[in-house]
Structure 1
Amino acid sequence: MKRLGLLRHAKSEEDRPTGHDFDRGLSPKGRRAAETMGRYIGKKIDAFDKILASPAVRVQETLNIALDAMGRAAPVDRTETRSLYLATHDSIEDVLEKMGGDADSILLVAHNPGLEDFVLDHVPNDGSCALRDIVATKYPTGAFALLELDIDNWADVSDAKAKLITLTRPRDLDPTLGPEMAN
């Protein structure tokens, strides 16, 4: 059994002076959401063995703020990979297969729609998971999902079935942080 945390970057700036999407940082609301989610993850979720993240500015800011708020040492094994920038769920699977190694648990921080599609592809659509229905409606900025995958090796992730253990949105913890916007 493997454990996978999926954290979507928090709300970003609308525009960046460079005009490049990759360079957009977090909005003030996004910074508050990243801190809120970090505190939640730090209190409620066991530490992860490895972190895999998109190198986009908004993802790195989300991750750094969340890690600070967790109040515990981050895993030494932290990898930024361009393959996670705006990744599809297939690209996410490829990254996990190639970079998962022997980690039992991974925190993956990236973008939508790849994160949402990953959850929808791996959690059975049999009506038994109300949280899956929420993901199908919207996986907002700053949202965190925790999945248990029925695999022993990350190389098998593409065929894995998952159990969605939790789905937490910033607005679930602080109503002033919702409703979330699309970016």
Structure 2
Amino acid sequence: MKTLYLVRHAKSDWGDPMLDDHDRPLNDRGLRDAPAMGHRLAERGVRPDRIVTSTAVRAKSTARLLARTLGIGDDHVVEEAKLYAASERSILHLASTLDDAVGIAMLVGHNPGMSDAVGELTGEWVELPTCAVVECRVDVDAWCELIEGSGELVHLDTPKH
């Protein structure tokens, strides 16, 4: 049994129109929401073995704030360029390549890919707002066995809940 958390990055700042999309930082709300969601995860006893994040500034910031709040060191946070603007199939493929020593993984990325990945994995279609966290239980022994429909949506949390 594996557990996969799919996270949409926290709210980003659109204030500088000259800034490349990849380089947009979190806004004030995002800087509040990410640690708040981390505290909720900590209260539930969640502690991922690995956090894989898009290389976009807003996703990396979200991942690092979650990790810090959960007491997870930077050595457990891995940046993956393929998560930036990834499709649901790319996201699930990336998850299927995780090391099998990882029992609990968290992927931090972008919509529409993250919302669509939840649907592909679990058959439950949800539109993830910023900083939403979805817990999926995957009935596999090895990540390479992860396929469409192999997961169950266990928990969905958003900053407004």
Is this a same-fold pair by TM over 0.5?
A: yes
Contact 1:34 1:65 in 2 (8 A): yes
Identity of aligned residues (%): 31
Contact 2:64 2:74 in 1 (8 A): no
Distance 1:146 1:45 in 2: 13
Distance 1:46 1:12 in 2: 25
Structure 1 residue 76, shift from structure 2 partner: 3.5
Structure 2 residue matching 1:99: 3-state secondary structure: coil
Structure 1 residue 77, shift from structure 2 partner: 3.2
Q: Which amino acid aligns with 2:61?
A: E
Structure 2 residue matching 1:170: 3-state secondary structure: coil
Structure 2 residue matching 1:158: 3-state secondary structure: coil
Structure 2 residue aligned with 1:175 = none
Structure 2 residue aligned with 1:141 = 130
Q: Which amino acid aligns with 2:157?
A: T
Structure 2 residue aligned with 1:26 = 26
Structure 2 residue aligned with 1:157 = 146
Contact 1:16 1:23 in 2 (8 A): no
- The answer for unaligned runs of 5 or more in structure 2 is none
Structure 1 residue aligned with 2:92 = 93
Q: How many residues align?
A: 161
Structure 2 residue aligned with 1:169 = 158
Contact 1:145 1:166 in 2 (8 A): yes
Structure with the largest fraction of helix: 1
1:79 to 2:78 alignment: yes
Structure 1 residue matching 2:64: 3-state secondary structure: helix
Aligned ranges 1:3-152 → 2 under 5 Å? 3-16=3-16, 18-70=18-70, 72-74=71-73, 76-124=75-123, 132=124, 135=126, 138-152=127-141
Q: Which amino acid aligns with 2:135?
A: L
Q: Which amino acid aligns with 1:168?
A: D
Distance 2:103 2:137 in 1: 10
Contact 1:49 1:75 in 2 (8 A): no
- The answer for unaligned runs of 5 or more in structure 1 is 125-131, 173-183
Structure 1 residue 99, shift from structure 2 partner: 3.1
Q: Which amino acid aligns with 1:117?
A: D
Q: Which amino acid aligns with 1:2?
A: K
Structure 1 residue 18, shift from structure 2 partner: 4.1
Q: What is the root-mean-square deviation of aligned Cα atoms in Å?
A: 1.8
Contact 1:54 1:84 in 2 (8 A): yes
Distance 2:99 2:5 in 1: 13
Structure 1 residue matching 2:97: 3-state secondary structure: helix
Higher-Rg member (1/2):
1
